[in-house]
Amino acid sequence: MRLTRKVNDIVLCVRNLRTYFFTEKGEVAAVDDISFDLKRGEILCIIGESGSGKTATALSILGLIDKPGAIVSGSILFNGTDIAKLSEGKMRNLRGNKISMVFQDASSSLNPVLRIGEQITESLVQHLKLDKKQTRERAVELLASVGISQPEERLDEYPHQFSGGMKQRVMIAMALSCNPEVLIADEPTTALDVTVQAQVLDIFKELKNSTSVLYITHDLGVVSEIADRIIIMYAGKFLEMGDAREVLMDPKHPYTKGLVGCLPSGKIKGRLVSIQGSIPNLIDLPEGCVFCPRCPDAMEICRKETPSETGISDKHSVRCHLYGST
Amino acid sequence: MIIEKHHREKIKKNKPAVLGLLFIILLFVTAILGPFLTRDPNEINFNDKNLPPVGFSIEQSMYNIKTQELEVTERKGSWEHPLGTDDRGRDMLAMLVSGARVSLEVGFLATGIAILIGTFIGVVSAYFGGWLDNALMRFTDVIMTFPFFLLLVLIVYMYGPNMVFVILAIGLTGWTGAARLVRSEVLSLRTLDFVTASKALGASDPHIILRHLVPNTMSSIIVIATLSIPGVILAEAALSFIGLGDPALVSWGKVLNAGQDSLVTTWWVAVEPGMILFLTVLAFNFLGDGLRDALDPKSE
């Protein structure tokens, strides 16, 4: 009995996902052997630098990886069904309906020649088959729910009449229009200034308990504010995963330590630390641990063997040879 | 939707474009209402033949049967035939009005067909890419290299000079430019986030094409349509000029052809349709250029 309940609590279960891009220069492992669970009602943050495979992970879940990329292996279980193997038609019914996504750049994510109202109602018409009056009422409700004043009039305006923060809120309203079970947010606040960012984050916080959020970002400040659990991603691989508070307070992986060290904090005076080097070329990955060329604690074994996942506590695990032997 | 307020303001500032638009509107009104007000363009009246336009006069030598002498008479234009008559006494104004209808019909219908085909092929080609893109673009190249005027002559030769065939022939061969333009626009549009965002919200391919891609290329389509109408009108005139036009219809090309033999004496028969053709083509080109300047986002 207890076991089935526990399984039901997991909305999205990704296992050993590999998404490769087959370019002329060679194979790029954008997502390399990634597994995680998204529980009902939680906010799970994936943190990583640019090019670490965060967006590729998100697009893989939605089945939107375009050529020359492809999901090579692994499974993506959504409420028990493997959506990586679903047909395009069935997948389309899921997108925007059960799983939806908010993109980084709201200004280019809205079609400049269509009215806001027409764009919000798109997925309502597509998935819920509502009539004109109902969709309009629902659209007004949605705009109001993301804090846009005078939603009735705003519906007939064009994207260029909206500010950046409002556009992003419209995008969130669109993504939420069909009450999805999973919302994937790909750096939704990166293009916004800090005050607007806080307002948008509030919308995500209020979502808790109704929609599970997979929040992709490179901003640890945002993470500390909203995340329940976090995953640290680097060069297509997970380096550390666990409860947000625990990982941020007590980072184990040298990369996570570096990231946390990069954050300015009020307590410690002195220079901000930065991580030496840059993310490796994904075509030509180093052998062994992907982080070892930049790692301050690299050992002999790091250059030869890829570290396996080691549990620190029941809510915290890391992939690093420093903790493997114990 | 596509031509917004600030576009209209911009067009208003462009004098040639406004003049072009006014001329085209005038031409439209004339073509629609004119035939009810003018005489029958096919009415032959030899008493009134070779009358000059109002305000002009010519000297005409006529053989008088009674006196058996050559008399030189002066003939003045009258308000009964404001633009004069041709060598069979047909009213020039009536013929030009009737020709306007033919020219606009051909221009708009053939361009409409061409734009529809071109947009469809361009958008499908760019959106789906791969082998389909290759196949469609090579097909476009083949159509492009085909001597279209020769095809027109061939069709008229085979099926007889029928306006429907002329329109279809121009429409079915004239879409290549539109196809290439739309394809190049969609190639850059489809990488934009709103296409991915729409996909992520569960939109189907036809939906993305019709709701997102085509409306975004609309401004270019309007411009290329406006600029290709005069070419089509000229093609029809050329066809009529060489005698392959529809014999049942009076068109500018035909009148122009009839007038070219007597350019020295009854010059107005050729000059009038020539002028109106020239002005129409100029008006469409001015308007097209104005629209391009106004709608091109890069010029903002």
Taking only the tens place, the pLDDT of each residue in A6-60 is: 445 888 899 899 999 998 888 888 888 888 888 888 899 999 888 788 888 998 9
Q: Is B69 on the interface with A (CB under 8 A)?
A: no
CB contact under 8 A, A114 and B200: no
Question: What does the mean pLDDT of chain A come to?
Answer: 84
Residue B254, pLDDT score: 79
Residue predicted with more confidence, A243 or B264: A243
Q: What one-letter code names the amino acid at A266?
A: G
Our CA-based measurement puts residue B212 at a distance from the nearest CA of chain A, in whole angstroms, of 7
Query: Does any CB of chain A come closer than 8 Å to the CB of residue B206?
Result: no
Please count the other Cβ atoms lying within 10 Å of the Cβ belonging to residue B34.
17
Please give the pLDDT value at position B115.
92
Place of tokens 């009076």: B250
Asked whether the beta carbons of residue A113 and residue B207 sit closer than 8 angstroms, the reply is no
Specify the pTM: 0.76
* Residue B299 confidence (pLDDT): 52
Using beta carbons and an 8 Å cutoff, which residues of A are at the interface with B?
Answer: 62, 64, 92-97, 100-101, 103-105, 108-114, 122-123, 126-127, 171, 174-175
Model pLDDT for residues A19-29, shown as the tens digit of each residue: 999 988 888 88
User: Is A244 a residue whose pLDDT tops 80?
Assistant: yes
- For residue A1, the model assigns a pLDDT of 38
Give the model's pLDDT for residue B121: 92
Q: Is B188 on the interface with A (CB under 8 A)?
A: no
Query: A4 or B175: which carries more pLDDT confidence?
Result: B175
Rounded to an integer, the average pLDDT of A94-116 is 86
What confidence tier does A269 reach under pLDDT thresholds 50, 70, 90? low
CA-nearest residue of chain B to A128? B202
Residue A6: predicted pLDDT: 47
Judge: B216–A113 Cβ closer than 8 Å, yes or no. Answer: yes
Among candidate residues B29, B169, B19, B9, the one with its CA nearest the CA of residue B101: B29
State the complex-level ipTM: 0.77
Q: What is the mean pLDDT of chain B?
A: 82
Question: Which among B197, B202, B218 has the least Cβ separation from residue A126?
Answer: B202
Q: Out of B2, B202, B216, whose CB is closest to A127? A: B202
Cis status of the peptide bond prior to A68, with omega within 30 of 0? yes
What is the pLDDT at residue A126?
A: 79
B300 pLDDT exceeds 50? no
> In this complex, do A108 and B193 lie within 8 Å of one another by their Cβ atoms?
yes
Domains of chain A: 2-98+178-253 (3.40.50.300)
Tokens representing B158?
């085979």
CB contact under 8 A, A111 and B207: no
How far off is chain B from A98, nearest CA to CA, in Å? 10
- Looking at residue B117, its pLDDT comes to 93
- Is the minimum CB–CB distance between B26 and chain A shorter than 8 Å? no
Task: Give the tens place of pLDDT for each residue, B48-86.
Answer: 777 777 767 777 777 777 777 777 777 776 777 777 777
Residue-level pLDDT at A165: 84
Share of chain A above pLDDT 70, in %: 93
What confidence score (pLDDT) does residue B119 get? 92
- Residues B85-114 have pLDDT tens digits of 777 777 788 888 888 888 888 888 999 999
Domain ranges of chain B: 5-50+85-299
pLDDT at A303 over 60: yes
**What pLDDT does residue A7 have?**
47
User: Which residues in A lie closer than 8 A to residue B216 (C-beta atoms)?
Assistant: 111-113
Residue of chain A whose Cα is closest to the Cα of B194: A109
Which among B1, B196, B203 is the nearest to A122, CB-wise?
A: B203
**Residue of A112, A114, A123 with shortest CB distance to B201:** A123
Is domain B5-50+85-299 annotated with CATH 1.10.10.10?
A: no
